[in-house]
Structure 1
Protein backbone atom coordinates (compact mmCIF):
# COMPACT_ATOMS: atom_id res chain seq x y z
CA UNK A 1 0.00 0.00 0.00
CA UNK A 2 1.31 3.44 -0.91
CA UNK A 3 1.78 5.96 1.91
CA UNK A 4 1.30 9.72 1.92
CA UNK A 5 5.05 10.20 2.30
CA UNK A 6 5.66 7.89 -0.65
CA UNK A 7 3.24 9.79 -2.86
CA UNK A 8 4.44 13.25 -1.82
CA UNK A 9 8.22 12.64 -1.77
CA UNK A 10 8.70 13.97 -5.32
CA UNK A 11 7.07 17.26 -4.28
CA UNK A 12 9.14 17.76 -1.11
CA UNK A 13 11.44 20.32 -2.75
CA UNK A 14 8.63 22.87 -3.20
CA UNK A 15 5.96 21.84 -0.68
CA UNK A 16 7.54 23.55 2.30
CA UNK A 17 6.13 24.89 5.54
CA UNK A 18 5.10 28.57 5.48
CA UNK A 19 7.32 31.10 7.24
CA UNK A 20 6.60 31.94 10.86
CA UNK A 21 4.97 35.34 11.49
CA UNK A 22 7.37 38.20 12.06
CA UNK A 23 9.28 41.00 10.34
CA UNK A 24 9.77 40.39 6.64
CA UNK A 25 6.89 37.90 6.42
CA UNK A 26 3.59 38.65 4.64
CA UNK A 27 0.62 38.65 7.01
CA UNK A 28 -1.65 37.10 4.36
CA UNK A 29 0.30 34.35 2.57
CA UNK A 30 3.27 33.95 4.95
CA UNK A 31 5.69 34.45 2.06
CA UNK A 32 8.62 36.88 2.11
CA UNK A 33 7.79 40.59 2.32
CA UNK A 34 10.07 43.59 2.39
CA UNK A 35 11.00 44.65 5.91
CA UNK A 36 8.65 47.35 7.14
CA UNK A 37 5.73 46.20 4.99
CA UNK A 38 2.90 44.03 6.37
CA UNK A 39 2.28 42.18 3.08
CA UNK A 40 4.18 41.04 0.00
CA UNK A 41 3.67 42.83 -3.30
CA UNK A 42 1.21 40.28 -4.84
CA UNK A 43 -1.00 40.30 -1.72
CA UNK A 44 -0.85 44.10 -1.53
CA UNK A 45 -1.86 44.45 -5.19
CA UNK A 46 -4.68 41.92 -4.79
CA UNK A 47 -6.14 43.75 -1.80
CA UNK A 48 -5.78 47.08 -3.62
CA UNK A 49 -7.64 45.79 -6.69
CA UNK A 50 -10.23 43.51 -5.05
CA UNK A 51 -10.55 45.25 -1.70
CA UNK A 52 -9.40 44.33 1.76
CA UNK A 53 -11.96 41.52 2.06
CA UNK A 54 -10.45 39.57 -0.87
CA UNK A 55 -8.32 37.34 1.38
CA UNK A 56 -7.28 37.85 4.95
CA UNK A 57 -5.39 34.55 5.05
CA UNK A 58 -4.13 32.10 2.45
CA UNK A 59 -3.30 28.47 3.09
CA UNK A 60 -1.07 26.30 0.98
CA UNK A 61 -0.77 22.51 1.24
CA UNK A 62 2.45 21.38 2.83
CA UNK A 63 3.88 18.31 4.49
Structure 2
Protein backbone atom coordinates (compact mmCIF):
# COMPACT_ATOMS: atom_id res chain seq x y z
CA UNK A 1 0.00 0.00 0.00
CA UNK A 2 1.20 3.48 -0.82
CA UNK A 3 1.38 6.12 1.82
CA UNK A 4 -0.69 9.27 1.68
CA UNK A 5 1.17 12.56 1.44
CA UNK A 6 1.30 14.42 4.72
CA UNK A 7 -1.20 17.20 5.18
CA UNK A 8 0.99 20.08 6.24
CA UNK A 9 -0.08 23.48 7.45
CA UNK A 10 1.28 25.01 4.25
CA UNK A 11 -0.87 22.69 2.10
CA UNK A 12 -3.98 23.49 4.13
CA UNK A 13 -3.29 27.22 3.79
CA UNK A 14 -2.93 26.85 0.00
CA UNK A 15 -6.23 24.95 -0.23
CA UNK A 16 -8.04 27.54 1.89
CA UNK A 17 -6.53 30.38 -0.12
CA UNK A 18 -7.64 28.79 -3.40
CA UNK A 19 -11.15 28.15 -2.06
CA UNK A 20 -11.45 31.73 -0.80
CA UNK A 21 -10.35 33.04 -4.21
CA UNK A 22 -13.29 31.22 -5.80
CA UNK A 23 -15.88 31.88 -3.07
CA UNK A 24 -14.92 34.22 -0.22
CA UNK A 25 -17.95 33.14 1.83
CA UNK A 26 -17.36 29.39 1.46
CA UNK A 27 -17.44 27.18 4.53
CA UNK A 28 -14.21 25.22 4.78
CA UNK A 29 -13.95 22.24 7.10
CA UNK A 30 -10.73 20.32 7.76
CA UNK A 31 -11.01 17.10 9.74
CA UNK A 32 -8.33 15.52 11.91
CA UNK A 33 -7.96 12.80 9.26
CA UNK A 34 -7.08 15.42 6.65
CA UNK A 35 -10.38 15.52 4.78
CA UNK A 36 -11.14 18.97 3.44
CA UNK A 37 -14.74 19.95 2.67
CA UNK A 38 -15.53 23.18 0.85
CA UNK A 39 -19.19 24.17 0.86
CA UNK A 40 -20.98 27.28 -0.36
CA UNK A 41 -22.03 29.61 2.45
CA UNK A 42 -25.68 29.31 1.53
CA UNK A 43 -26.92 26.69 -0.85
CA UNK A 44 -30.17 27.65 -2.52
CA UNK A 45 -32.23 24.48 -2.90
CA UNK A 46 -33.77 23.85 -6.28
CA UNK A 47 -37.55 23.56 -5.95
CA UNK A 48 -37.54 20.48 -8.20
CA UNK A 49 -34.92 18.81 -5.97
CA UNK A 50 -37.06 19.21 -2.85
CA UNK A 51 -39.04 16.16 -1.87
CA UNK A 52 -42.79 16.01 -1.41
CA UNK A 53 -42.18 15.61 2.33
CA UNK A 54 -40.17 18.86 2.47
CA UNK A 55 -42.92 20.72 0.62
CA UNK A 56 -45.56 19.21 2.95
CA UNK A 57 -43.65 20.38 6.05
CA UNK A 58 -43.26 23.86 4.57
CA UNK A 59 -46.99 24.08 3.75
CA UNK A 60 -47.96 22.70 7.17
CA UNK A 61 -45.82 25.28 9.04
CA UNK A 62 -47.81 28.23 7.76
TM-score normalised according to structure 1 size: 0.29
Higher gyration radius (CA) = 2
> Which structure shows the bigger proportion of residues in strand conformation?
2
Relative contact order higher in (CA < 8 Å, ≥ 6 apart)? 1
TM-score normalised according to structure 2 size: 0.30
